Amino acid sequence: MSGTEPSAIEVAGRSLSREDLGAAAAAIADGIAGAPAVAVRATASLETVAAVLAGLTCGVPVVPVPPDAGPRERGHILSDSGATLLLDPDPAGGAALWDDVDLDIRPVDLGARASSPHPVPDPASPALILYTSGTTGPPKGVLVSHRAIAADIDALADAWDWTPDDVLVHGLPLFHVHGLVLGVLGALRVGSGLVHTGRPTPAGYAEAAGRGGSLFFGVPTVWSRIAEDAPAASALASARLLVSGSAPLPVPVFEQLAARTGHRPVERYGMTETLITVSTRASGDKAPGTVGTPIAGVSTRLVGEAGELLPHDGATVGELQVTGPTLSDGYLGLPEANAEAFTADGWFRTGDVATIAPDGGHRIVGRASTDLIKSGGYRVGAGEVEGALLAHPGVREAAVVGAPHDDLGQEIVAYVVADPGVDTAALGDFVARTLSVHKRPRRVVLMAELPRNAMGKVQKKQLG
């Protein structure tokens, strides 16, 4: 890797050997041991990596704080988590953020070194308190144990043939499961090298590929930009595996990425409360629109509205529930939310609707609250209709929702980004030729772009 050790940790152009990172983290751990929780302003930096590793080393739960969080979100996370310390990788840059914060705020010194031992944390104790997006209220703190993280990384390493010989490349935020748990702790546990590009740009990914990058993580927005950048996509031909997650990868992006890189990407499924539970295997069939089978130790099931178990026939749509060692220990201080999220027999209600094929392959239709449309007595998955629309050569993006309708209960409405001249009136007929007639959109609305969050997920509540 251009003069660095293959197992080095590099973030935004700066690198540390694994040994130096561990010694720096040990020194930080000496100063925070015994705290009930430590917050970390999770910038894309080596300091963030060292601070998180320090908390895990001494058994203090780490609370990653998004560096762009607004005052209300920031204040809620800090007060709700019970953190008494805050580690800031850039105290000068973050000083104005903490004017009204009554915490012990400390810088992160990468030059410090220590080798003092700390007791091995209880595997069942919380390693991270990760805050959800808060789309239905204030963000909720999810308690993720050391055991859950280890189980998830080990199962994914098996599924993706991830070894110390790999060099992982990504530029994802370090306050989410994708960027932090998989993208940093995964590399540290597996023993592979890590190149965090600072930002997930096509040029950054291409440059890292030229220096030996073999395993690449990205969200659909990242892969879409790379697929459209022919030189960057060609550079990734030398990679071993491309992995996409955090939102469904549109079929046209999948196909263009495969054509230009020579790699059919792996898609996987998970959420903050469960970590990653389902994935295509590196050696398995990689079909667009599918997220593979449960990883080792995880079980899944489909449940109907009355609580009945539904068949795994590849067609029946139901709520996806999961269980296994990767599950979190629930929401911090929210017993009612925990009772709603977990079944009596210990399964987590994901709130996502899916189909499961006889061979165990999963297709995620979307969120039950927004993507299960009840129209004229039929249950229609928005994701299936979106996939049919995206098969049209002139459709670039599509989001399907159910809108109130006096006769049908809900009518199917499609919001699309399309090439000039596309006949939107004919798109309903196009869908009906590949799906059942009752799944055709009754209205098609053209948009310049779809509203998305920072992780590339379409914000359907902003449509309509």
CATH number at residue 392: 3.30.300.30
Position 280 in a domain: no
Q: How far is CA 28 from the centre of its chain?
A: 28
Position 7 in a domain: no
pLDDT digits (tens, 9 = 90+) for 307-320: 999 999 998 989 99
Give the end of a domain, one of 121, 138, 153: 121
Give the end of a domain, one of 88, 121, 154: 121
Position 450 in a domain: yes
pTM (two decimals): 0.83
Tokens 């917050």 belong to 39
- Structure confidence at residue 31 as a pLDDT band (50, 70, 90): very high
Q: What percentage of residues in the chain have a pLDDT greater than 70? A: 94
Pick from 94-103, 205-214, 382-391 the range whose average pLDDT is largest.
205-214
pLDDT digits (tens, 9 = 90+) for 333-342: 999 999 999 9
Domain coverage including residue 77 = 14-121
User: Using DSSP, how many helices (H) and how many strands (E) does the chain show?
Assistant: 14, 24
Position 90 in a domain: yes
Residue 271, CB half-sphere, CA atoms under 13 Å: how many? Answer: 19
Position 133 in a domain: no
- One DSSP character per residue, 353-418 reads EEEE-TTS-EEEEEEHHHHEEEETTEEEEHHHHHHHHHTSTTEEEEEEEEEEETTTEEEEEEEEEE
Higher confidence at residue 52 or residue 374? 52
Give the end of a domain, one of 84, 102, 121: 121
- Structure confidence at residue 1 as a pLDDT band (50, 70, 90): very low
Judged by DSSP in three states, 45 sits in coil
Position 246 in a domain: no
Q: How many domains does the chain have?
A: 2
pLDDT of res. 175: 93
Lowest mean pLDDT: which of 190-194, 350-354, 436-440? 436-440
Position 59 in a domain: yes
pLDDT of res. 7: 67
Q: Euclidean distance between the first and final Cα of the chain, in Å?
A: 49
Contact between 213 and 195 (Cβ < 8 Å): yes
What average pLDDT is seen over the chain? 91
Position 393 in a domain: yes
- Structure confidence at residue 4 as a pLDDT band (50, 70, 90): very low
Tokens 């409360």 belong to 273
- Structure confidence at residue 149 as a pLDDT band (50, 70, 90): very high
Pick from 78-82, 384-388, 421-425 the range whose average pLDDT is largest.
78-82
Which CATH number is 88's domain given?
3.40.50.980
Contact between 193 and 167 (Cβ < 8 Å): yes
Contact between 270 and 296 (Cβ < 8 Å): no
Q: In sequence order, what are the beta bridge partners of 217? A: 243
Beta strand pairing call for 38-41 and 85-88:
parallel
| Beta strand spans in 97-148 (E) | 104-107, 126-131, 141-145
pLDDT digits (tens, 9 = 90+) for 83-92: 999 999 987 7
Q: How far apart are CA 56 and CA 46, in angstroms?
A: 16
